[in-house]
C-alpha cells in the first residue's frame, strides 16, 4: 500500500477508460462496459499485488472476470495483500450516449478493509471537508442542509445538492427545493457525484439520495482520502436482498455506516475520466495515441494528484484499440 502502488493503480483505470471511450456515443452500453472490463483485467496482471476483488462485476456465475472473489495481480511472494473495489465503467449509459461524467475507478485497502457490500441500494449522504461532522442520516434532508450550511458558514440557498434523477427521489427533490438549496440532477454516476463534493471547483456541496451500495463503498474510499464525510445505510428492495446481505456478513441491515466503516484503514483511490465532466476530462484521441486525465489519492498522506497522460499506441500496444 505504498505510493508506487497508488500510481500503478492509475494505469489500471487509464486502460479501462481508453478502451470504453473508443465506443463513446455508439449507444452500446454493454459493449462499452465489456471493453472496460477486459482492459482493466489485463492491466491488473501487471500489478505487484495479491489482490482480491470484493466489489466488482457481480458473482462468479454472473461475470466471467473481475467477479467478487477473483484474485488479481502478480501474486508473488512478499507483495501486499489488498482488497479491491472497482467499477471499470461507472456510468455505462453516460459513455454509450456521449454524456458527461463517465469514469473508470479503483479503490484498494488492506485485507478486510472494504465492506463487502451486497448488490442492493444504499441511502447516501456525502459532503466535503468543510462540512465534516455536520451530517446525520437519522435527520431529515432539511435538517442536514441547515447543519451543513452552518458548518460551512454559508446560507442553505448557497448549497448545491447532487441527486440522481430517479422517480424514487421525487419527495427528496421537493424537500430540498423547499429548503432553498440548489439541485444538480445527474443521470448516472453517483461515485463521481460524491467525490465532487470534496473539490470546490466542481460547485457541488452535498450528495443525497439512494444509489448502489457497491458504489457507496468506492465513494467512501475516495472521500476518506481527502477528508470529506459520508454516511450510508443499506436499502434492500426485497427479502432476497436482505438474505444476501446477511450471507455476506451484514447482520444489522439498518446500520448507518460512516466512511471509516465502509473503507477502513489505509486506502487509496484512482479514477480516470471517460467522458468529460467538472471533475475530470474525458479521453481525447489523436493520431496514434490519446490523452487521459486521472486523479489518484491516498488516505495515509491525504495527497491528491491529478495526472494528465499522453499515450502513444506504438509504444504501448496494450492501450491500442
Do 214 and 277 lie in a common domain? no
Beta bridge pairs of residue 207:
126, 162
Q: Is the pLDDT of residue 198 over 70?
A: yes
Integer Cα distance of 250 and 217 in angstroms: 14
Do 9 and 66 lie in a common domain? yes
Residue 321 lies in a domain: no
Grid cell for residue 22 = 473508443
For the segment 224-253, the average pLDDT, to the nearest whole number, is: 93
Do 52 and 127 lie in a common domain? no
pLDDT in tens, 8-28: 899 999 999 999 999 999 999
Q: Binding-site residues for substrate, please?
A: 90-92, 121, 166-168, 188-190, 212
Residue 13: CATH number of its domain: 3.30.540.10
- Number of domains the chain contains: 2
Do 208 and 99 lie in a common domain? no
SS (H, E, C) 58-83: CCCCCCCCCCCCCEECCCCCCCCEEE
Q: Binding-site residues, please?
A: 33, 57, 87, 90-92, 121, 166-168, 188-190, 212, 215
**Per-residue confidence band for 193, with pLDDT thresholds at 50, 70 and 90:** very high
Integer Cα distance of 60 and 69 in angstroms: 8
Per the prediction, the chain carries an average pLDDT of 94
| Structural domain span for residue 128 | 121-262
pLDDT of residue 214: 93
Question: Cell 486521472 sits at which residue?
Answer: 294
Do 181 and 216 lie in a common domain? yes
Q: Binding-site residues for Mn(2+), please?
A: 33, 57, 87, 90, 215
Do 211 and 286 lie in a common domain? no
Angle between helical axes of 170-179 and 141-152 (0-180°, round to 10): 40
Amino acid at each position: 500500500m505504498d505510493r508506487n502502488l497508488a500510481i500503478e493503480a492509475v494505469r489500471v483505470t487509464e486502460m479501462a477508460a481508453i478502451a470504453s471511450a473508443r465506443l463513446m456515443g455508439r449507444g452500446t452500453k454493454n459493449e462499452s462496459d465489456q471493453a472496460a472490463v477486459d482492459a482493466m483485467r489485463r492491466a491488473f496482471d501487471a500489478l505487484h499485488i495479491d489482490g482480491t476483488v470484493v466489489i466488482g462485476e457481480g458473482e462468479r456465475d454472473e461475470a466471467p472476470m473481475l467477479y467478487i472473489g477473483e484474485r488479481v495481480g502478480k501474486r508473488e511472494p512478499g507483495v501486499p495483500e489488498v482488497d479491491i473495489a472497482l467499477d471499470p465503467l461507472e456510468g455505462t449509459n453516460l459513455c454509450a450516449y456521449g454524456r458527461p461524467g463517465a469514469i473508470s475507478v479503483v479503490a484498494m485497502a488492506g485485507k478486510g478493509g472494504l465492506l463487502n457490500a451486497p448488490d442492493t441500494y444504499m441511502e447516501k449522504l456525502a459532503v466535503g471537508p468543510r462540512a465534516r461532522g455536520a451530517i446525520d442520516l437519522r435527520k431529515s434532508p432539511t435538517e442536514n442542509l441547515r447543519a451543513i450550511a452552518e458548518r460551512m458558514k454559508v446560507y442553505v440557498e448557497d448549497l448545491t445538492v447532487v441527486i440522481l434523477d430517479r422517480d424514487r427521489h421525487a419527495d427528496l427533490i421537493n424537500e430540498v427545493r423547499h429548503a432553498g438549496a440548489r439541485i444538480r440532477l445527474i443521470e448516472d454516476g453517483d461515485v463521481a457525484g460524491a467525490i465532487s463534493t470534496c473539490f470546490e471547483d466542481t460547485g457541488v456541496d452535498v450528495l443525497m439520495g439512494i444509489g448502489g451500495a457497491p458504489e457507496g463503498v468506492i465513494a467512501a474510499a475516495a472521500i476518506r482520502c481527502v477528508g470529506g464525510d459520508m454516511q450510508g445505510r443499506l436499502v434492500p428492495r426485497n427479502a432476497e436482498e436482505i438474505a444476501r446481505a446477511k450471507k455476506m456478513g451484514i447482520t444489522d441491515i439498518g446500520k448507518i455506516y460512516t466512511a471509516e466503516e465502509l473503507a477502513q484503514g489505509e486506502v487509496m483511490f484512482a479514477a480516470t475520466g471517460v467522458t468529460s465532466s467538472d471533475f475530470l476530462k474525458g479521453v481525447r484521441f489523436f493520431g496514434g495515441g490519446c490523452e487521459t486525465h486521472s486523479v489518484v489519492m491516498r488516505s495515509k498522506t491525504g495527497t491528491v494528484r491529478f495526472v494528465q497522460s499522453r499515450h502513444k499506441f506504438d509504444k504501448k500496444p496494450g492501450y491500442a484499440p
